[in-house]
Amino acid sequence: MKALHRDFGVEIDGIDLRDAATHYARIREAFEEHSVLLFRNQRLDDEVHLALGRLFGVIEIRQKNPQEHEARMSMVSNRRNDGRVLSEQDSRLMHLKANQLWHTDSTFLPAPALANILAARKLPTSGGETEFVSTRAAWRDLPDVTRTRVRNVVLRHRYTHSRQAVSPVAAALDEVTMWPETTWRAVWPNPVNGMEALYIASHVCGVVGMGEREGRQLIDELVAFTTEPGRIYSHQWSSGDVIIWDERATMHRGRPWPYDQERTLASICITASEVDGLGAVRPVPAA
Ligand code: OGA
Ligand code: MN
CB neighbour list of residue 11: distance below 8 Å, 6 or more residues apart: 1, 2, 4, 37, 38, 39, 40
Report yes or no on 33 lying in a domain.
yes
- In the 8-state DSSP scheme, what is residue 59? B
pLDDT one-digit tens code per residue, 177-204 = 999 999 999 999 999 999 999 999 999 9
- How many structural domains is the chain composed of? 1
- According to the model, what pLDDT value does residue 286 have? 59
Name the pTM for this structure.
0.97
- Which residue has the least CA distance to atom 2 on ligand 1? 99
Q: Which residues surround ligand 2, an ion (CB under 5 A)?
A: 105
* Mean local confidence (pLDDT), 161-171: 93
- Asked if residue 48 lies in contact with residue 95, where contact means CB atoms within 8 angstroms, the answer is no
Taking the CA atoms of 204, 207, 211 and 217 in sequence, report the sign of the dihedral they define. Answer: negative
For residue 106, the SS3 value is coil
CATH number at residue 145: 3.60.130.10
Domain that holds residue 187: 2-278
Report yes or no on 283 lying in a domain.
no
Report yes or no on 285 lying in a domain.
no
Report yes or no on 286 lying in a domain.
no
Does the C-beta of 118 come closer than 6 Å to ligand 1? yes
- Asked if residue 116 lies in contact with residue 245, where contact means CB atoms within 8 angstroms, the answer is yes
Report yes or no on 287 lying in a domain.
no
Does the C-beta of 77 come closer than 6 Å to ligand 1? no
- Which residue has the least CA distance to atom 10 on ligand 1? 254
Report yes or no on 101 lying in a domain.
yes
Report yes or no on 284 lying in a domain.
no
pLDDT one-digit tens code per residue, 10-65 = 999 999 999 999 999 999 999 999 999 999 999 999 999 999 999 999 999 998 88
Does the C-beta of 76 come closer than 6 Å to ligand 1? yes
Report yes or no on 250 lying in a domain.
yes
Question: What is the best residue among 49, 99, 106 to mutate for testing ligand 1's pocket, by most ligand atoms within 8 Å of CB?
Answer: 99
